[in-house]
Structure 1
Amino acid sequence: MNFCRLALCLLVGLIAASSSSGLTEWGSHLEESLGLKTLFTLRGPATPPPEVVILSLDKTSAQALGLPDKPEKWSRSLYARLIQKLTESGARLIAFNIVFDEGRNFQDDQQMAKVMRQSNNVILSDYLKRGMISLSQGNPDDTNQFFYDLVIRPIPLFSQAALFSTPFTLPKTWKEVKQFWVHQDNGSCGFPAAVFQAYVFSYLYPEILAITHQISPGFASHLPPSYEAAVRKRSVDNLMLAFKTFFDQHPQRLNKFTQLAKMQIPPAKQPLLMNWLSLYSNPQIRYLNHYGPAGSITTIPLRDVLSGNAHLFRDKVVFVGYSEDLHPEKNQGFYTVFSHSAADTLSATEIAATAFANLLEDSWLRSQDPTVQFLFLLGWGTGLALLCWRLPLLRAFMAASMVGSIYLAIVFYQFVQNHHWYPIIIPLAIQIPAVLLVTLCCHYISTRQEKDSIHQAFRLFVPEDITKHITSTKTVDALSTHGELKFGVCLATDAGRYTTLSESLDPMTLGQLMNEYYSTLFLPVKAHGGQISDVVGDAMMALWTASENSPFLRRQACRAALQIKQAVTLFNETHRYQLPTRIGLHAGMIRLGTVGSPDHYEYRAVGDAINTATRIEALNKVLGTRILVSGDVACDLEEFYFRDLGTFLLEGKQQAIDIFEIIGLTEDISPAQKAFFSAFANALKLFKRHDWPQAHQAFATLANQFPEDNPTLFYLFQCQTYLQEPPIMKQPHIITVSKNSSYSNMRLIQ
């Protein structure tokens, strides 16, 4: 009993950690949606740094200034006045979260560009537009599509006048915006990080250049001699890219730079420089440390600036953007942990300003590495279990509550003071209750041992669900009605040369060989969540079932089929007797349950999908292939590379189905293979259009190049047959498979 209890204690920590940690999408989402929100709620609003200000282009200002309802119609001279006002007030940087991608009035555009050139402090944003190209035509259901990102930059007049422009994109999240990019996947600097770097350069460029010269004089010689020179040449963005390359190519330079900075830079300037260096050493996607609901960062409306109240912008970084009420259709608000309704959302401009403020203060949230989090949760859960497993339930509850309270206090302190984010939902709301159930579980396990032993014995012969049904059934009569309708993916296999082996081997040797063979087949099936439904002689039927059609089940079955093919190849290489294996897959509705009479029951699946899978497996003999699937299985599974082999009316069937061959994973297919399969597909199109001469020529060319490809030889034979004796039926491209089908014995649908 003590050993059982100790084992359960250890298991609590392992299960909770592995299923709930940051290594799983579910665990990460749980902590982000509940844990992070709880910590922000406990902390409340925080004070943002005074160096950042938001200038809001809002509806009230538009009405007060007599501007059009649509900001697209605002005169560029208005923006010129705004930039001039902010520059005169001493604004250090002006970052527009607005895309000026279209020219307007020539004189107004010229005026705005002139003011930007004179101010030397304007940063513009690009627009990242996602596009899609369909790789197939005429098939609206085809999901073979290519997505690309198109960067829409400001008009050249503005791009050349501004310091630089860069896109502002946010990583995908579940619902609320929680993260921002430092450097994006293509290496470009994210909008808030780019503004932050320009801010750092404007203050510390001489110090940065001096330390860089000590580390790499050659590299430093190619840099601008001053920040002002970089501004004049409009090469600030190139400067950012140069430093990223500088640190990425030689990571040890970052440590050396840090050491020299600590020795040579005045203490007052060190924090800002260290925050800049952290751009190159920490994660490129970082968690936002929100300061509160909308408006937490100082926000000044446009009318106040143009009316003369611009004194608040001296040495500030000003983020300029539309407010929610002015342009809702283009500037949709973002939900944050402080949002309670659509009215509490943050504008994209305030998100950018928040990210900049986090970088400036180095206050962005540090989450745990997934592996570290897993180990921590494993230790936490196991430690709690070991603490409570000897205690009565009431004392265990008190001990767990006390430890949990101490842990929460420590986590909250780290969150507020050091901006470290540790999980709280999993340790406190999942693992502690699980630990408190250990004592009850021990008693439960003890009383269930005998029944579990019976249950384990049954599992060797029938699937898990029927085992549970049998062991929980009080009367044998109830077994006759056990069955349920499910969607199933059926995988049928058959071993070649089995008949010959059964004649030449004694039953014991044959039995040992087949046990080793089926062990080879069963492992991939079970590893991918399938269950063995039936084994007869050299044939196996495996199932993946669910309540409805599931791409996940079809994907798992296809992966199992590929692994079976690999495993059988290895089996045949290491055994004296060869058992080449054919595989067929089909999907559809089946009845899964007991079949038989009161004196003998078997558990198996019944339905057309079972029969069709078997027929597809047999079609391998005709086509000379190893793995065939129906169109119902192959649909929308882009990670696999399928070859369309045409349409067939299988033996005993009334409806023709499309047949595909699984070649392998798409990522593993070489360009040469793709070229061959593309040529095969073109030839098959000619065959389906009943263009026998062209199809024959295409397949003949392929057969000369790839004489070992059996489907090519099959269709070459069909084309030769049709050329010698033109078919008279309506659909000669649909091939009927009879009982004795072969290359030389095929008949076609009438």
Structure 2
Amino acid sequence: MTTQIIRPAVGRAQTGGVDQRKPLRSGLMLAAVVWLAGLVAWQLPGADRFEREVTLPWLFAQRGPLPAPAEATIFAIDSASARRLGLPSRLADWPRRIHADLIGRAAQGRAAVIAVDVYFARARSGDGDAALAGAISDAGNVVLFGNLERQVQDVPGTQAQGQLRVDRLRRPYKPLADAAAAVATFALPKSPTRVDTVWTYHPAMPTLATLPAAAVQVQAGSPSCPAKPQMTRAQRAACDLTVGANERMLNFYGPPRTLNIIPAADVLLGQVPDVAGRAVFIGHVEPYFPNQLDSFLTAVSRPDGLDLSGVEIATTAYLNLLRGESLKPASPGIIAGGLLVGALVLAASSLPLRPVGASVLAVTLAGAAYLAVLTAFGRFHVWLPLAPWWAEVTVALLGTLVLRARDSGRERQQVAAAFRHYLPAHVVERVARETGSAPSQSRPVPLRAVCLISDAAGYTTVSEHLPAAALRELINQYYAALLAPIRVQGGIVTDIVGDSALALWPVRHGGIAQQLRACRAALGIQQALAGFGGGLPTRVGLHVGELVLGPVGALDHYEYRAVGDVVNTASRIEVLNKRLGTQVLASHEVIGSLTGVDCRRVGRFRLAGKTDAVVLYELLAVPVAARPLFEWALDAFAAGDVGAARDAFAEVLATDPGDTVAAFYLASLQGQNDKVPSDGVIVVPK
């Protein structure tokens, strides 16, 4: 078997530039795909329903309830108040004098406007109609609820008989309606089954204000629009009703029972409530799910089934109008533009990163999108769809991984083509895959790797006595045996000169597993060469550290090789085998806390030409005798106890005469009459 020499000569004319337009094209292509994904996620059928039914409740939950605005209070007609006041349990049967008293209490508290979400359809003889009409008239600022009736009418002379639908306001009992400042309906749009919006004016009757809007108008009086800075808040809100959208999104302040609510019994049996300058809404509000009859499913409905009552929704809408806090869906232009900017940012920031970095960035940007949407929602009352942003982040991550895989494949193909005359294809492929970047003829590749250097003992002597042809055959057989364990353990052979080989295990992805593979390869070399008949015992040195793989040379001759202190150190460690009589030595940086490989510490050495000491280990193919005693002797040597160390090493040799390391220490201690060695470090001469 022949082995290729991996020391290429690379001329300067082989180098070339990089097409800078390719990253730009890839970035623009990725940005276009990401933007399209965001637009599709935004405009897909059912996307709006998903945002309303999933994202919107989630945003309200994440924002949390807000403090109840002081500008409105609800007088709650509820079953608990019925029991306390001795009234019928059926709330519709309450005497109208009770409603008159509630309105009177609100008026005494100087309420700015009183909105009654109760429908008084007809007269009730002897039931307080006169008292109620008087209370409404005395207050002067009462808005009564009017029922909305839909009729289907035939259209004469057409084929669409019975297809015309007409909405008509059914006003309350006339004396009550005449006493009121306004009569308003409160029909609610549903999207599609839930209440998310309210109308300011009924869509079929543009002049008919709904209950919240009518309350704003009554409180404002007759302002001269457009709005001016010196106007009251109610006057500005009334002017905004004439120019704003008719359908407004509800910005709920929290789940049911978040607003200021006073039970009717507390209003009537306690002191006059302080509602000066506030709106008072009167309606049915129950604290528990089974008793609430007038209820609507909303984005803030409670998990136990309790929904918002009609009067709570009306009060919320009033507060939104008064405070300018209605939820505003972002315009299509803003969403499309934001998605475009997001796509460009994602493409520009994701492409330069490796998969792990791109994944971390994707998670970070997904969180940033969530925070941006939540901030716009909570602080600026702007509702942005969330799904399109997350769709963009997901597609950007997947697209980055796909493009990097494609580019890596192309780069490896280009490298293989450029270096086919210099490096074996499997070496180029492995380096590109292990380091995450392909080697260039002019640009070195930095990497961290375990470095293995081997050297055949007695090669010079053998070569003196063999013809060139026989030596060539012998060295080929030798390298066949030497390289097999390295390849089995995934090493990359980058340099072969004479009887010496250099192999690397990049540790960028493999970590400690790569160090274990290198150690097993070193032991495998000893096993493979144990029966080699050429008389070439091989020593191995192992170290791990930073190096660069790239062209080295000048003028018209370059060689592609590994360069770095780790290579020099591994070489010095390999040479030390000869002094210690060992076969495989590895540094502490390689061994560390490895398991699965048998080794023993052999001491601290300052290698030739080095300033720092390194702790070395001997890798063992078979267990050694007297290991505990050897360790004790080594510790005594390091502690400076020469006598104890000398005796212990002598005892080790008595137990195992073939222990060359113990013999080395014993020889170094001869003649040292209790002289302490410097820090237990053995200086290896040049």
**TM-score under structure 2 normalisation?**
0.51
SS of residue paired to 1:56: strand
Q: Which has the higher helix share?
A: 1
Range moving further from structure 2, 95-104 or 306-315? 306-315
2:397 counterpart of 1:379: no
Residue in structure 2 matching 1:162, options 162, 180, 185? 180
**1:270 Cα offset (Å):** 5.6
Range moving further from structure 2, 28-37 or 51-60? 28-37
2:391 counterpart of 1:430: yes
Conservation of the 8 A alpha-carbon contact between 2:289 and 2:304: no
- Residues 174/78 of structure 1: CA separation in 2 closer, same or farther (3 Å cut): same
**1:320 Cα offset (Å):** 0.5
2:94 counterpart of 1:82: no
**1:86 Cα offset (Å):** 2.2
Query: Corresponding residue for 1:417?
Result: 379
CA distance in 1: counterparts of 2:150 and 2:258, whole angstroms: 31
**1:107 Cα offset (Å):** 6.3
5 Å matches for 1:259-658?
261-262=228-229, 265=230, 269=231, 271-324=233-286, 331-341=293-303, 343-427=305-389, 429-442=390-403
Conservation of the 8 A alpha-carbon contact between 2:233 and 2:322: no
Conservation of the 8 A alpha-carbon contact between 1:98 and 1:125: yes
Residue in structure 2 matching 1:16, options 37, 53, 76? 37
2:199 counterpart of 1:181: yes
Conservation of the 8 A alpha-carbon contact between 1:12 and 1:382: no
- Residues 446/332 of structure 1: CA separation in 2 closer, same or farther (3 Å cut): farther
CA distance in 2: counterparts of 1:124 and 1:326, whole angstroms: 26
Code of the aligned partner of 1:395: G
Which structure has the bigger radius of gyration? Answer: 2
**1:177 Cα offset (Å):** 1.9
CA distance in 1: counterparts of 2:393 and 2:65, whole angstroms: 30
CA distance in 2: counterparts of 1:270 and 1:329, whole angstroms: 39
RMSD (Å) for aligned C-alpha atoms: 3.3
SS of residue paired to 2:194: coil
Conservation of the 8 A alpha-carbon contact between 1:179 and 1:288: yes
**1:272 Cα offset (Å):** 4.8
Query: Corresponding residue for 1:121?
Result: 141
- Residues 30/327 of structure 1: CA separation in 2 closer, same or farther (3 Å cut): closer
CA distance in 2: counterparts of 1:178 and 1:15, whole angstroms: 29
- Residues 29/327 of structure 1: CA separation in 2 closer, same or farther (3 Å cut): closer
The one-character-per-residue Cα deviations of 1:399-436 (angstroms, maximum 9, x if unpaired) are 23333333433433333332222232320x32211111
**TM-score under structure 1 normalisation?**
0.47
**1:349 Cα offset (Å):** 0.3
What percent identity do the matched residue pairs reach?
A: 26
SS of residue paired to 2:308: coil
Conservation of the 8 A alpha-carbon contact between 1:324 and 1:332: no
2:168 counterpart of 1:171: no
Range moving further from structure 2, 163-172 or 276-285? 276-285
CA distance in 2: counterparts of 1:91 and 1:271, whole angstroms: 15
Conservation of the 8 A alpha-carbon contact between 2:100 and 2:135: yes
CA distance in 1: counterparts of 2:142 and 2:323, whole angstroms: 22
Conservation of the 8 A alpha-carbon contact between 1:94 and 1:317: yes
Query: Corresponding residue for 1:548?
Result: none
Code of the aligned partner of 1:387: S
- Residues 100/144 of structure 1: CA separation in 2 closer, same or farther (3 Å cut): closer
**1:353 Cα offset (Å):** 0.6
Unmatched tracts of structure 2, length 5 or more: 1-21, 409-686
SS of residue paired to 2:281: strand
Query: Corresponding residue for 1:721?
Result: none
The one-character-per-residue Cα deviations of 1:24-72 (angstroms, maximum 9, x if unpaired) are 6633223323332232222211012212000111001111212122223
**1:329 Cα offset (Å):** 9.1
The one-character-per-residue Cα deviations of 1:453-472 (angstroms, maximum 9, x if unpaired) are xxxxxxxxxxxxxxxxxxxx
CA distance in 1: counterparts of 2:75 and 2:29, whole angstroms: 59
- Residues 145/386 of structure 1: CA separation in 2 closer, same or farther (3 Å cut): farther
**1:328 Cα offset (Å):** 7.1
Code of the aligned partner of 1:316: R
Code of the aligned partner of 2:258: S
Unmatched tracts of structure 1, length 5 or more: 137-141, 213-256, 448-750
- Residues 328/387 of structure 1: CA separation in 2 closer, same or farther (3 Å cut): same
CA distance in 2: counterparts of 1:52 and 1:157, whole angstroms: 27
- Residues 383/282 of structure 1: CA separation in 2 closer, same or farther (3 Å cut): farther
Conservation of the 8 A alpha-carbon contact between 1:31 and 1:426: no
**1:112 Cα offset (Å):** 1.4
CA distance in 2: counterparts of 1:445 and 1:126, whole angstroms: 68
Code of the aligned partner of 2:216: F
Query: Corresponding residue for 1:64?
Result: 84
**1:358 Cα offset (Å):** 1.4
Code of the aligned partner of 1:359: L
- Residues 439/406 of structure 1: CA separation in 2 closer, same or farther (3 Å cut): closer
The one-character-per-residue Cα deviations of 1:432-483 (angstroms, maximum 9, x if unpaired) are 1111111455589999xxxxxxxxxxxxxxxxxxxxxxxxxxxxxxxxxxxx
Conservation of the 8 A alpha-carbon contact between 2:351 and 2:400: yes
Total equivalences in the alignment = 383
CA distance in 1: counterparts of 2:45 and 2:242, whole angstroms: 26
CA distance in 2: counterparts of 1:375 and 1:432, whole angstroms: 16
Conservation of the 8 A alpha-carbon contact between 2:28 and 2:347: no
CA distance in 2: counterparts of 1:297 and 1:375, whole angstroms: 37
